[in-house]
Amino acid sequence: MEQTKPKIKLAILMTGEMFRRAICPEELTFLETFAELVNKPPYPDRISEAYMQEHLAGAQACFTCWGTPVLSEAVLAHAPELKVILHGAGTPKAIVSEGVWLRGIRVATAAPVIAIDVAESALGGMIYCLKHFGDYDRLMRAGRWQKTAGSVSDVDALKPQLKRLNGRLTVGIVGASHVGRNMIRFLKPFGVRILLYDPTLSADMARELGVTQVCLETLMPGSDVVSVHAPQLPGTRGMITADLLASMPDGALFVNTSRGSIVDQKALLAELKSGRISAYLDVYEQEPLPADSELHTLDNVLLTPHVSGGHTVNGGFERGNYIVNQLYSYWQTGKLQHEALRDMLDTMA
């Protein structure tokens, strides 16, 4: 008689909101064909250490997400059978302790899926700003489309400033992260020239990506658009300096969907206030962005509240699909895609 493979015992350590945003009913049905849920829905609004200790007791795997506390030594002491963590968010740094690595527990995250969202947002903001959609929206709402015979309207005056993404533009990508690589992939059909700064990337990989690898001192003054996708690390704090920002050409666009701390914020504000460059910003050194920030007063800046990645409805279900399929692959073959390893932490966001 053919033996049935036993189901893997899975603890859900996601808040109710995170679970609902990631695991659709159809995904849950598939999940339960190969996983035995140690704890069933509905899940609590807050995950406590005691909750994790209780439900990890017999679990071989767990799902985590934003809102999951760190799997500390005290938690792991109650999880003798835990072998794999599937994190339904980006970086695992917020939920893994040193004990996870010492125990040989394997970790995979949904970072590759979130990266698509972030890159799509960066591209959308880029096109929005290059086409001056924000300016046009303000003029339309103010009723300033009209013009008299022989005169130039405010709307017409903007036209010479419009830019399209094509081979006459150079886009500089700072960081060949998951997001940076998706950004390169998204930009390729437009035919733009792409410069890339990433000191961790080999020349062979740069050629494979089809980009020109340069230093920041070459990328910043040589790009019509600069898009930042580097991780937040001690070595990247303030990496985009005042001198580098000042070297950007007049009329250039600066895009940051990574982390605010990577950029000299005072210098960026000064450049934007001068009107010499424009920006799309989704991240800030202080979040939420203070209500009295001068950025709120500038028409040459598109501001969004750190929502470029992981917040779309369908993107959330893609995250859920990704970790469910990662668990299925692990259950079937012991393999994980894009596994997070201890030695990656030093260069991981």
Catalytic residue numbers read 259, 287, 306
Phi, psi of 106 (to 5 degrees): -90, 150
Cα separation, 30 vs 42, whole angstroms: 18
The kind and range of the H/E element at 185 are helix 178-187
Cα separation, 341 vs 100, whole angstroms: 11
Please, which contacts does 1-5 make with residues 24 or more away whose CB atoms are closer than 8 Å?
A: 5/34, 5/331
CA-closest candidate to residue 68, choices 56, 83, 80, 81 = 56
**120 near 183, Cβ under 8 Å?**
no
Cα separation, 213 vs 234, whole angstroms: 23
Cα separation, 266 vs 283, whole angstroms: 14
Cα separation, 78 vs 90, whole angstroms: 25
**106 near 86, Cβ under 8 Å?**
no
- Compute CA distances 173 → 103, 114, 190, 197, 212, whole Å: 37, 18, 15, 6, 10
For the chain, the first-to-last Cα distance in angstroms comes to 49
**57 near 77, Cβ under 8 Å?**
no
DSSP state of 94: T
- Compute CA distances 204 → 189, 200, 211, whole Å: 22, 12, 11
Phi, psi of 178 (to 5 degrees): -55, -45
Query: Which two structure tokens, joined as six digits, stand for 151?
Result: 């005169």
